[in-house]
């Protein structure tokens, strides 16, 4: 696998470089901390490349730690999928897979420590009351009436919460910080809440679960994480993150650094919304090729290298509110596949061509390069017969100027074969063109015809030897750049009705034994990937990863 660790410098990398030069750290430790409540998407890929990339660049470690503090939303299946995505991306985490739940005992002891220090208390307020007491963005909150209850009582209550003596929402453990803080996260944040759910890692051992804030920083400290990189929305949590580290006997003091999350045009990167698309059956599972999930992009035909390249291209900053054009992603995969995908020909909308001066039963085989610039990809055999298929788009009865394809009385080259001339257009009862009768210039194989130049080259497939395949032509799932821009509207209204168009194509025989996930460039059309599920079942299904750039279409548009 190509390992383009070009990785452009960014502010985090620069900062770490300085720390290392100043001797503040010798070995860095980062971590990728997904919650197993959904599949990883392109936004996670950015974080993955950053965290694993940093460890790679500085000779440090990157841990994989599942942030599994909310059993109500998490599942083992997501854990398995996330691990597979990471492996596929080409990253190895240091040591075993870790879980925040590995530290539940320590976290509990630290909660008790805080209570004894008079810095935490069990609160009996209801969720509604807690919200009410918290105040608003502009008004200070009020202390809970339970705020000053004794440490002994809180300790006892917390233990009983843990034993399952209370119902969900009956009690919570809160830190005692500052109800008047302008930073709402410091208004006595919740440390533990009661959850009756069975936990995918700890089973029924616990009835209380730590909040993200109470678990994350301490887990980082336990693991010796030096740089805890997260997204901008956690910036307001940093004072709290540090408050815990400063008020608990933790073994280390990691630093939280925030960067801007990725916004990609025409796509959604909200786990909640992606899950809705999956649950409502709007797409074919979490790995639907139209989804920006890592597994979806994999199925679509993206390569790990292309995803890494894309992440390098977009960079890492603290500038938020931006929107990366999806065209950048397309460029990343095209440039990879241009270099690495073998070529083949496939006709998408077949139009029959009878080559009148080729005898019935005649057969010859052309040898074509597997890749025009890579000898290591060998050659493929192209059987040539009297009847062939070409694409309907490559013929026009009344062509505009500069239409370098087939038209009545015009010549065109069959890719890797002869130049042919269109002598006759046959129409069906409906008036549509049903067949073309052409003649071959046999003196044009591997050389230009005498005295004239034939500019156009079109792809074709022998009618006798062509292999029927199902082609799934994927396009953006949404029709607008920011599907969820309008908070009052339903993002489903912007679904693209043509995000998937299935067509029966006919491909050259060389793709007959394509392995699942084999990628090809269907010449003059685009890049395609053998569907890993369908092909594993013996079907021949190809997903369009991305089309080739189309200068002709662009020129037409301009008029």
Partner RNA sequence: UGGGGUAUCGCCAAGUGGUAAGGCACCGGUUUCUGAUACCGGCAUUCGCAGGUUCGAGUCCUGCUACCCCAGCCA
Angle between helices 151-163 and 104-116 (to 10 degrees): 160
User: Is 365 or 552 the residue whose CB approaches RNA more closely?
Assistant: 552
Instruction: Answer for the pair 422, 436: CB distance below 8 angstroms, yes or no.
Output: yes
Among 275, 404, 435, 509, the residue binding RNA under the rule CB under 7 A is 404
CB 334 → RNA: shortest distance, Å? Answer: 7
Q: Catalytic residue, from 19, 35, 84, 481: name it.
A: 35
Dihedral angle, C-alpha 193, 194, 199, 205, nearest 10 °: 110
Among 47, 70, 295, 473, the residue binding RNA under the rule CB under 7 A is 70
Among 130, 257, 358, 471, the residue binding RNA under the rule CB under 7 A is 130
d(CA 286, CA 297): 10
CB 123 → RNA: shortest distance, Å? Answer: 7
Among 118, 164, 327, 378, the residue binding RNA under the rule CB under 7 A is 327
Instruction: Answer for the pair 169, 186: CB distance below 8 angstroms, yes or no.
Output: no
CB 486 → RNA: shortest distance, Å? Answer: 11
Q: Is 261 an active-site residue?
A: yes
For residue 198, state whether it binds RNA (rule: CB under 7 A).
Answer: no
For residue 10, state whether it binds RNA (rule: CB under 7 A).
Answer: yes
Q: If 0-12 CB within 10 Å is exposed, 13-18 middle and 19+ buried, where does residue 279 land?
A: exposed
CB 536 → RNA: shortest distance, Å? Answer: 28
Cα 335 to Cα 1, 309, 332, 532: the distances in Å are 15, 10, 6, 22
For residue 209, state whether it binds RNA (rule: CB under 7 A).
Answer: yes
Residues of this chain, 145-174, that bind RNA according to CB under 7 A: 168-172
The distance in angstroms from the start CA to the end CA of the chain is: 43
Among 4, 75, 105, 338, the residue binding RNA under the rule CB under 7 A is 338
User: Is 39 or 288 the residue whose CB approaches RNA more closely?
Assistant: 39
* DSSP symbols for 14-73: HHHHHHHHTTS-SS-EEEE---SSS--BHHHHHHHHHHHHHHHHTT-EEEEEE----TTT
Interacting span for RNA (CB under 7 A) from 467-475, 488-496, 521-529, 532-540 = 521-529
d(CA 516, CA 89): 17
Residues of this chain, 474-513, that bind RNA according to CB under 7 A: none
Q: Which of 300, 294, 298, 406 is nearest to 347 (CA)?
A: 406
Number of residues lying near RNA (CB under 7 A): 94
Q: Is 35 an active-site residue?
A: yes
Interacting span for RNA (CB under 7 A) from 83-91, 331-339, 422-430, 509-517 = 331-339
Instruction: Answer for the pair 1, 308: CB distance below 8 angstroms, yes or no.
Output: no
Among 106, 282, 403, 467, the residue binding RNA under the rule CB under 7 A is 403
Gyration radius of the chain's alpha carbons: 31
CB 439 → RNA: shortest distance, Å? Answer: 17
For residue 372, state whether it binds RNA (rule: CB under 7 A).
Answer: yes
Interacting span for RNA (CB under 7 A) from 46-54, 276-284, 327-335, 466-474 = 327-335
CB 512 → RNA: shortest distance, Å? Answer: 20
Place of tokens 């993150």: 241
For residue 323, state whether it binds RNA (rule: CB under 7 A).
Answer: yes
Q: Catalytic residue, from 46, 98, 193, 271: name it.
A: 271
CB 89 → RNA: shortest distance, Å? Answer: 19
CB 430 → RNA: shortest distance, Å? Answer: 25
User: Is 274 or 500 the residue whose CB approaches RNA more closely?
Assistant: 274
For residue 548, state whether it binds RNA (rule: CB under 7 A).
Answer: yes
For residue 358, state whether it binds RNA (rule: CB under 7 A).
Answer: no
Place of tokens 């990339």: 53
For residue 320, state whether it binds RNA (rule: CB under 7 A).
Answer: yes
d(CA 284, CA 531): 13
For residue 321, state whether it binds RNA (rule: CB under 7 A).
Answer: yes
* DSSP symbols for 447-506: SPPTTS----EE-EEETTT-EEEEEEEE--SBSSSSTT-STTS-GGGGB-TTSEEEEEEE
For residue 6, state whether it binds RNA (rule: CB under 7 A).
Answer: no
**Tokens standing for 88?**
């596929």
Q: How many CB atoms lie within 10 A of CB 191?
A: 25
Q: Which of 71, 51, 66 is nearest to 103 (CA)?
A: 66
For residue 125, state whether it binds RNA (rule: CB under 7 A).
Answer: yes
d(CA 526, CA 520): 8
For residue 69, state whether it binds RNA (rule: CB under 7 A).
Answer: yes
Residues of this chain, 423-452, that bind RNA according to CB under 7 A: 444-447
Element (DSSP H or E) covering residue 389: strand 387-391
- What number of H helices and E strands is found in the chain? 13, 25
Residues of this chain, 236-265, that bind RNA according to CB under 7 A: 236-237, 260
Q: Catalytic residue, from 149, 261, 421, 437: name it.
A: 261
Instruction: Answer for the pair 104, 206: CB distance below 8 angstroms, yes or no.
Output: yes
User: Is 500 or 507 the residue whose CB approaches RNA more closely?
Assistant: 507
User: Is 107 or 500 the residue whose CB approaches RNA more closely?
Assistant: 107
Q: Is 485 an active-site residue?
A: no
Among 3, 76, 150, 335, the residue binding RNA under the rule CB under 7 A is 335
CB 403 → RNA: shortest distance, Å? Answer: 4
**Hey, which residues are catalytic here?**
35, 261, 271
């Amino acid at each position: 696998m190509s390992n383009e660790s070009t990785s452009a410098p960014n502010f985090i990398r620069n900062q770490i470089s300085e720390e290392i030069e100043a001797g503040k750290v010798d070995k860095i430790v980062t971590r990728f901390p997904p919650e197993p409540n959904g599949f990883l998407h392109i936004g996670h890929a950015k974080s993955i490349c950053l965290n694993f990339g940093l460890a790679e660049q500085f000779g440090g470690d990157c841990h994989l730690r599942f942030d599994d503090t909310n059993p109500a939303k998490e599942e083992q299946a997501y854990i398995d999928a996330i691990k597979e995505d990471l492996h596929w991306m080409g990253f190895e985490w240091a040591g075993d897979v870790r879980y925040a739940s590995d530290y539940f005992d320590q976290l509990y002891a630290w909660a008790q420590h805080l209570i004894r220090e008079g810095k935490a208390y069990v609160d009996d307020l209801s969720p509604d009351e807690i919200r009410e007491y918290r105040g608003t963005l502009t008004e200070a909150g009020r202390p809970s009436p339970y705020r000053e209850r004794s440490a002994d009582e809180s300790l006892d209550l917390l233990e009983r919460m843990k034993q399952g003596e209370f119902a969900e929402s009956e009690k919570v453990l809160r830190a005692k910080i500052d109800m008047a803080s302008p930073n709402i996260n410091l208004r006595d944040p919740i440390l533990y809440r009661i959850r009756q759910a069975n936990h995918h890692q700890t089973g029924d051992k616990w009835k209380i679960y730590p909040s993200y804030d109470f678990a994350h920083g301490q887990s980082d400290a336990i693991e010796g994480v030096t740089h805890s990189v997260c997204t901008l929305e956690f910036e307001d949590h940093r004072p709290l993150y540090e408050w815990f580290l400063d008020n608990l006997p933790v073994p280390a003091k990691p630093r939280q650094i925030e960067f801007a999350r990725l916004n990609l045009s025409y796509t959604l990167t909200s786990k909640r919304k992606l899950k809705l698309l999956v649950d409502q059956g709007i797409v074919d599972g979490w790995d639907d090729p139209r989804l920006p999930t890592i597994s979806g992009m994999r199925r679509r035909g993206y390569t790990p290298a292309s995803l890494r390249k894309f992440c390098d291209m977009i960079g890492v900053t603290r500038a938020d509110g931006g929107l990366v054009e999806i065209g950048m992603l397309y460029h990343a995969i095209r440039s990879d596949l241009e270099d690495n995908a073998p070529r083949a020909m496939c006709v998408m909308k077949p139009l029959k061509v009878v080559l009148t001066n080729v005898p019935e039963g005649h057969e010859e085989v052309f040898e074509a390069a597997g890749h025009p610039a890579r000898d290591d990809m060998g050659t493929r055999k192209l059987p040539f017969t009297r009847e062939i298929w070409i694409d309907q788009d490559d013929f026009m009865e009344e062509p505009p100027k500069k239409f370098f394809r087939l038209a009545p009385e015009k010549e065109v080259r069959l890719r890797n074969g002869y130049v042919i001339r269109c002598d006759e257009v046959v129409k069906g009862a409906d008036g549509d063109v049903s067949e073309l009768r052409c003649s071959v210039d046999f003196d044009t194989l591997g050389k230009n015809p005498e005295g004239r130049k034939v500019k156009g080259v079109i792809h074709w497939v022998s009618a006798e030897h062509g292999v029927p395949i199902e082609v799934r032509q994927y396009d953006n799932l949404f029709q607008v750049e920011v599907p969820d821009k309008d908070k009052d509207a339903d993002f489903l209204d912007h679904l693209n009705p043509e995000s998937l168009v299935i067509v029966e194509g006919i491909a050259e025989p060389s793709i007959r034994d394509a392995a699942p996930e084999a990628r090809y460039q269907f010449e003059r059309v685009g890049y395609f990937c053998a569907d890993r599920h369908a092909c594993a079942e013996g079907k021949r299904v190809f997903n369009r990863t991305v089309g080739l750039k189309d200068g002709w279409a662009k020129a037409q548009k301009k008029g």
